[in-house]
A and B are shown apart, each in its own frame.
Chain A
Amino acid sequence: MSTTTQSPTTPEARTPGRTARLLGDRRLPVLVTAGLFLVMYVVGLSRYQNYGFAEPQVFMNLFIDNGYLLVAAVGATFVILSGGIDLSVGSVIGFTTMFTAWLVERQGLPIVVVIPMALAVGAFGGFLMGYVIHNFEIQPFIVTLAGLFLFRGLCLVISKESISIGDASVSSMAQTQVSLGGAFLSIGAVVALVVLAVAIYVLHFTRFGRRVYAIGGNEQSALLMGLPQGGTKIAVYTVSGFCSALAGLLFTLYIQSGDPLHATGMELDAIAAVVIGGTLLTGGSGYVLGTLFGVLVLGLIKSIIQFEGTLSSWWTKIATGVLLCVFILVQRAMTSRRT
């Protein structure tokens, strides 16, 4: 068979065409979500112009009211990019509110001492789940489901009643406003934006971040390429646990109480935000910036429903469900085109 005819490989076959490249571009879903946010915002402006929707503060409130969700969703982005899932987010948030309120109110510890403790507990919880997932090769779904029940149960161990926080330093922290010309942000919103910036940096400019993408793309390959895939996985869940605890602290500040039932099911909001932001649930493809737009879209739905005035808040859930469905179908169409 050494004399088989050959035709030279054509250059077009080697370099993907322009349209194929655009449709296959992984940034496209982020652009779509950003576009959707813009359209919704413009629609809101035209409908509720006379009710103050155009106020810059309405826009800033999106960050203030959803800062904790953004932080939780950023953590979830790491996990989902690596091809995993973390269902314990909401419970860790709820636990952190209880833990913080209990230590500050019942034990009288100053908040500056409580914050690092809460973060350490959340990160350690995430580390443990990652350790179990990696070392015993158990599906993340089931391990983090166990985490979900564990942390929710721990809330009730602390107290069955909600604990409201009257501590002066917590209130002053919660009410601090960071002025931005005509509008202001809360400390929580600023922290959330800082977390977002750090996450973008870590995912795109550090080896750890690229390993997250690599194991999400093909875990077996990552292993054979000599990447420390186990450590990366554990680190990803640790990051998610840390972000959940941080989100819990922001939630505590926002709502100024601890309650065993706080943030029930918020992991699903976080996952929804990540998916609407264009990250593939199968891992390896997506951007944290997309997650920001995912959170903003969810927040904007809430705002619009508030402005509408007559709609029940359940419509938020319905709108989220519809959006999620549409985005998953769009993703499906895009991935099938890509392969």
Chain B
Amino acid sequence: MAEPQPVLEMTGIVKEFPGVRALSGVDFRLFPGEIHALMGENGAGKSTLIKVLTGVYSLDGGTITLDGESVRFGSPLHAQHAGISTVYQEVNLCPNLSVAENIFIGREPTRWGRIRWKQLRREAAELVDRLGLDIDVTAPLSAYPLAVQQLVAIVRAVGTGDSDGEGSGTKVLVLDEPTSSLDRDEVLELFRLMRRLRDEGVAILFVTHFLDQVYEICDRMTVLRNGAHVGEHPVGELDQVGLVQLMIGKALGQLEELHDQQLHADVGEPFLRASGLGRTGAVAPFDLEIKKGEVVGLAGLLGSGRTELARLLFGADQPDSGTVTIDGSRIPMHAPNDAIAAGVAFCSENRRTEGLVPELTVRENIILALQAARGWTRPIPAAQRDELVTRYITALDIRPADPEARVGRLSGGNQQKVLLARWLITRPKLLILDEPTRGIDVGAKAEIQKLVVSLSEDGMSVLYIAAELEEVLRLSHTVGVLRDRRLVARIANGPDITTGRILETIASGEDQ
């Protein structure tokens, strides 16, 4: 990276919301032809900065300079015309329209007001082709999986401003957490597209929670903490540990300690035993034993059957073979109620859609499962309820510590903690955690992991599913490896077990 003129320069950006100063004097520079990571914990101000840049929020202080000219955007459309396009985490396209139309809608080629469909399809196909993608532009968008839709969103963002003389070509592409719901292959394809655009001179602002991805693709990074700028570094000059320390503002020791601590913990009697449990099309029949106080981690690629296995153990899906024995007695797994009655709790990976009720308050969400377990005719006394809620809010450090806050307003990490609190309050004997740390920041991650360790020390069994192998390995006594919807290995964790070893097992499909 030479020292040319930055394409975008934001200086002293200030944004205030009633009672909160979301950004206090943030500086940010973006050079043409670079991929720049914007890093920070949840609530550090990443989204606010992006929204200020793209014209969703108005500016309370500071200047934005694009190509040497001072600019101020009133709306996303305005920013788009100036050459700043954004792709959000959720694909914001119309699934009912064709791919070509999604790329061009709002700026279709017309003659006398009549849309020229042939030209539109041809130009869309050319654009897709130029970016090295293989997508049939005439098919409806809904025919494609989410990952391809995401690529289409980027194609649209790149194409915006290329025609019609309304814009000046895309100079800055903002990608806000585009990888959070993609699997590895899809991420690689996205990266290929990003590199291509970078080589064409587009400046890319990339926001992600995956540190590995930052080191894989980015050239430089800017770190924010509590709405302030704490550093701008070339990727090569700041290692992961240094980056995390910058992000959370304290030393990282706590994460490393966990591993040793966990390995020495004792585990007790068998608690749950599944034998020959399976469901056609979901998971091949497997045997699994979880002891009291044991943490069993499940490793495997996205779609390898991790979630499906957990759902079978919880009775969320009906097994069509095998049996589950809990505490020595056989449990007919007809519905989640059977599992709940036996002391099993399940935290789903889709906390928004399958777990929390965003419109209700923190208190109501936490109390929900306990109330359900008691039956609706026996309300929990208000004093006891408030005491319980306050205890768990403090124990899990849910922020804001306000039982009346609406859950939908909380950050991802805090929502996850509310969901955890809901199940912990019922005092389960086995806690199934499906991707509890997905999409939450490093600090909250460490807290949730510490919590798992202390729960297991108290004798609670935990089935832990996570996409990051390091995480699984750090916490688990036993690692179950899944591949192609089959439990291929159960590895007792120990000092000689590394992520490399697990990866080999995933790759080869056999226990070596």
Contacts and interface: CB of A to CB of B under 8 A. Distances in A.
B184 interface: yes
Contact of B469 (A1, A7, A11): A1
Contacts of B468: 1
A14 B106 contact: no
A199 to B, nearest CB: 15
Q: How large is the interface on A (under 10, 10 to 19, 20 to 34, 35 or more residues)?
A: 35 or more
A164 interface: no
B350 interface: no
Contacts, number: 108
A47 interface: no
A217 B94 contact: yes
Contacts of B113: 206-207
B261 interface: no
Interface stretch (A171-179, A222-230, A288-296): A222-230
A24 B185 contact: no
Given A24-B140, A205-B115, A210 B77 contact: no
Contacts of A222: 94
B237 interface: no
Interface in B40-99: 75-77, 80, 88, 91-97
Interface string A9-20: 101011110001
Contact of A285 (B88, B96, B136, B185): B96
Most B CB within 10 A of own CB, among A3, A224, A285: A224
B506 interface: yes
B189 A9 contact: yes
Nearest to B110: A207
Interface stretch (B142-150, B313-321, B422-430, B431-439): B142-150
Q: Which interface residue of A5, A7, A26 has the most chain B CB atoms within 10 A?
A: A5
A284 B94 contact: yes
Which size bracket describes the interface of B in this complex? 35 or more
* Residue of A11, A218, A284, A339 with most chain B CB atoms under a 10 A cut-off: A218
Contact of A221 (B75, B80, B92, B469): B92
B22 to A, nearest CB: 21
A217 B95 CA distance: 6
A260 interface: no
B387 interface: no
Contacts of A50: none
A321 to B, nearest CB: 28
Contacts of B75: 226
A206 B117 CA distance: 10
B216 A225 contact: no
Contact of A225 (B106, B115, B184, B506): B106
B134 interface: yes
Contacts of A13: 145
B144 A14 contact: yes
A6 interface: yes
B175 to A, nearest CB: 14
A218 B143 contact: no
Interface in B200-251: 212, 216
B48 to A, nearest CB: 17
Interface in B101-142: 101, 105-106, 108, 110, 113-115, 117, 134-136, 139-140, 142
19 contacts: A1-B468, A4-B503, A4-B506, A5-B507, A6-B188, A8-B185, A9-B185, A11-B134, A13-B145, A15-B139, A210-B115, A213-B94, A218-B95, A224-B88, A225-B92, A227-B105, A284-B96, A338-B142, A339-B142
For the complex of A and B, 10 pairs with smallest distance between CB atoms: A217-B94, A217-B96, A226-B77, A284-B96, A221-B92, A16-B143, A224-B92, A5-B507, A214-B94, A4-B184
